[in-house]
Every structure is written in C-alpha cells, then in structure tokens.
Amino acid sequence: MPVNLTAPNPQDVLPVPGVKLGIAMAGVRKANRRDLVVVTLAEGSHVAGVFTRNRFCAAPVQLCREHLAAKAGTRAMLINTGNANAGTGEDGRSRALSTCVALARHLGIAPEQVLPFSTGVIMETLPNDRIEAGLPAAIADLAADHWVQAAEAIMTTDTLPKAASRRVQIDGKTVTVTGIAKGAGMIRPNMATMLGFVATDAVIAPALMQHLVREAADDSFNRITIDGDTSTNDSFVLIATAQAGHAPITRLDSEAGALLRDAVIAVAQQLAQAIVRDGEGATKFITVQVDGGASEDECRQVAYAIAHSPLVKTAFYASDPNLGRILAAVGYAGIADLDQTGIELFLDDVHVATAGGRHPDYREEDGQRVMKQSEITVRVDLQRGDASAAVWTCDLSIDYVKINADYRS
C-alpha cells in the first residue's frame, strides 16, 4: 500500500503544448500489457538529461548520452518497460539503436533525434522486433493528453502511476510544467530503474537546460537514495518545447527564471516523493534531515547512512523506537573526526538523544507515538557547522522481500 499517495486525477495532469504521447502493447515481457510509449516533441524543443553513473549503464543510457551530445535536436523519445536492456553488451546497444532507427523512419527524423529508455529486468535480450512492430500503434495513439496513460505504461513494480503538473504565469503567458516518473525498490533503489520526464512549454535558452535539469535532480530524485551514482538505467530528462510565447529566459536568477525553476523543482520533488511513497513494500514515508554539518556533502553522507540502514528501516516498519540504530548509522557514516558527544537526535518533536546519549527526558512512549505515524522526520544535529541536507526514504517491510523475491515470477 502506497503511503499517502493516490493515482493522479487525469484532469490535474496538464498537457504541454508541443508534446504528444502514444501508448501501445508491444508484448515486451508480457502480453496484453501497455508497455511501449512514444513521445514526440515539437521542432525547436530543447532537451537535457542526467543519467546514472553506473559503469554498467544500460545500452539506452549510452545512446541517450550520445544522441544528446550529437546536438541533432531531440524530436522523439521511445520508452519500454519489461526489459532494461542492461548488462546486454554490444548486442544490447545495436538492438536499442535499431528501435531508434525504426521510430526515426516512421517520424521522418534522424535516429540521433530519438532518445531511447528501457526499464525492467536486467541482462535479458531486448525484443527489439516486438518493440518495432508496436511502433505504428503507439504513433497512431499520439495525443497531448496521454500523460497519465504514459505514466501507467512505464511502471514496473510501481503500484500507482506518478504524474504531477504546475502552471505559472511568465510575461502574462501561461506556462505549464508536467512530469511523469516511475520508481523502484526502496531499500536501495539504485539497482532498479528510476525514470523521470518533465516537460514545459517555456522558452528557455538552451545553455540553461543542463544546469536546470541538474539542479532539479539534486533537489528531488537525488534525495531519495537514488543518488545517480548507482543504477544501470536511471534517467531524468527535462524538455522545453518553447511554445509558450514569452520572451526567452536567459538567466535562472531572473524573475521569470526563478518562477520556471521553482515549478520544475516542485514537479520533480512531487514525483520523487511519489516514488518513495510507492516504494516496494513501503508503509512509512521518512524524511531524514541532517543539520549542523561542516558541509552539505557530509550531511548527505550521514542522511544516506541512516536511510540505507536495514536495521533502521526494519525498526520503522515495526514502529519500534529502537533509536540507537540511528546513532550507530551516524557513527559509521564515514566522518572520520566525528565527535559522538556532539550528536543530537530528534524524532519529529521528540528529543531522543543529546550529547551522544539518551536524552534524560526521553520516554519510550513518546518515541513510540511518533514511530506509529505514517510520516516521520528523523533529525540529526551534528553540531559541527551550518550545513544541512535531507533525504526521503521509506521503511523495510516483509513485503519488500516478497516483492523482490518474486519479481520475475
């Protein structure tokens, strides 16, 4: 059961002028499953992306990087679920390229103008023939209002589609930002696939796109233990179709730039949090806030150590305020000169530990009360400086193991 998350209402997921989405059943892994999405982008669109740094990055990720580097002007995206086309060697690459060539031929564009994305099981051969056979149906289905259907078609172990929209006024023009995403296992989702696509009709200088997509990722998907260093397929793409008719945004610190940036980050954060809320087997949504660090990096390091600890996560699942497990995670986070006697620990409003030991006023029943909530903030103060960082995570439940033990069956 997702934690405080419901399926998006199609009326709330706003079309973005210049973007059309078409869905089809290609039978990639299972029959009668919408598993193929084609997205077309108006001429003049600008696209930027951030991708996994996993050295075993999937074939489609390699092609995305190359096609973006070619600066041919991205005009289409091709997304399949059911097969990640990762760990597939040279053969996987040529199969991914073959699907780009096929879509390009249908649309009358160049293969480098297509970005391919795959999600699903690793190390199995991509059935590119079935994907290519499914393209006409997906193209026939292209429509501006198919965002939610696309969000459904890219799911793997997600239980709900994930979509979000914002509207802002820039120079008297309405600008839309809409995104969809799919998630992953939630202990360390880095091995599953996270895909996120956010589109806007804003007019933005191409030079700003990479900066904006990186900033949005750092404030959203990179806060959910999907840290970009680790998965084979993780991809987050930002599209600007330049259809909104306002004067081009040339600086992100201008008024118009800030409006757009805030809207893009808000959409990305909503999607990222939705991934955690729908984490495999999740029963709790946990914010890990680390303050008082000497640097943002060390705060993040401590936050991840807590968020990744199976013992911490099982304690949350059990609503058991076994909070020493959190202190232990702080201790092994890798800060060599950490002074344990400086550590303060809070669970929402409850002051659990002070000076590295149990707070004299802390009562087990107060910890228990917070642990029973479905939304919990763990706050650690390192008392070493002024930096802060937060990550979002979920608990580790019996269902997590069941889901991942059964994933392929």
Q: Which residues form the catalytic set?
A: 193
Alpha-carbon dihedral sign for residues 289, 295, 296, 300: negative
Task: Return the residue of 45, 54, 200, 220 that touches a second copy, per CB under 8 A.
Answer: 54
Residue number with CB closer to a second copy (93 or 246): 93
Binding to a second copy (CB under 8 A) within 289-328 occurs at: 309-311, 314-315, 317-318, 320, 322-325, 327-328
Q: Which is nearer to a second copy, 117 or 400 (CB)?
A: 400
| CA atoms 164, 167, 168, 171: torsion sign | positive
Is the distance from CB of 188 to CB of 226 less than 8 angstroms? no
Work out how close the CB of 22 gets to a second copy at its nearest, in angstroms, rounded to a whole number.
29
Q: Which two tokens stand for residue 295?
A: 């640097």
Contact between 329 and a second copy per CB under 8 A: yes
- Residue 361 is a binding residue for a second copy (CB under 8 A): no
Residues 176-215 that bind a second copy (CB under 8 A): 185, 187-188, 190-192
* One of 197, 236, 392, 400 touching a second copy (CB under 8 A): 400
| Residue 365 contacts a second copy per CB under 8 A | no
**Closer to a second copy at the Cβ: 24 or 330?**
330
Smallest gap from Cβ 76 to a second copy, in A, equals: 27
Q: Minimum distance from CB of 186 to a second copy (Å)?
A: 9
- Considering CB under 8 A, how many residues would be counted as binding a second copy? 71
304-339: string of b/e by CB count within 10 Å (b at 16+)?
bbbbbbeebbbbbbebebebebbbebbeebebeebe
Task: State the CB neighbour count (10 A cutoff) for residue 85.
Answer: 34
Contact code string over 246-285 relative to a second copy, x by CB under 8 A: ----------------------------------------
Distance between CA 231 and CA 234 in Å, rounded?
Answer: 6
φ/ψ of 339, rounded to 5, equals: -100, 110
Q: How far apart are CB 104 and a second copy at their closest, in Å?
A: 25
Q: 205 exposed, middle or buried (CB, 10 Å; 0-12, 13-18, 19+)?
A: middle
Binding mask of the shown chain, residues 5 to 24, with x at each position contacting a second copy by CB under 8 A: --------------------
Q: Which of 121, 142, 252, 294 binds a second copy (CB under 8 A)?
A: 121
**Between 217 and 236, how does the x/- string for binding to a second copy read (CB under 8 A)?**
------------xxxx----
Contact track, a second copy, 60-89, x by CB under 8 A: ------------------------x-xxxx
Instruction: Select from 41, 57, 204, 288 the one that contacts a second copy (CB under 8 A).
Output: 57
Which of 9, 11, 32, 55 is the binder for a second copy (CB under 8 A)?
55
Closest contact distance (angstroms) between CB of 404 and a second copy is 4
User: CB count, 10 Å around CB of 42?
Assistant: 16
Of 13-21, 174-182, 246-254, 393-401, the window that binds a second copy (rule: CB under 8 A) is 393-401
Amino acid at 105: R
Task: Give me the least distance between CB of 120 and a second copy, in Å please.
Answer: 10
Helix (H, G, I), strand (E, B) or coil at 148: helix
Q: Which residues pair with 289 in a beta bridge?
A: 379, 390
- Please list, in sequence order, all residues whose beta carbon lies within 8 angstroms of the beta carbon of residue 45, skipping any fewer than 6 positions away: 18, 73, 74, 75, 239, 240, 241, 242
Nearest approach in angstroms of CB 406 to a second copy is 7
Name, in order, each residue with C-beta under 8 angstroms of 86's C-beta and a sequence gap of 6 or more: 56, 57, 58, 59, 92, 118, 122, 123, 232, 233
> What does the alpha-carbon distance between residue 95 and residue 127 come to, in Å, rounded to a whole number?
8
Q: Which helix (H) or strand (E) holds 351?
A: strand 350-354
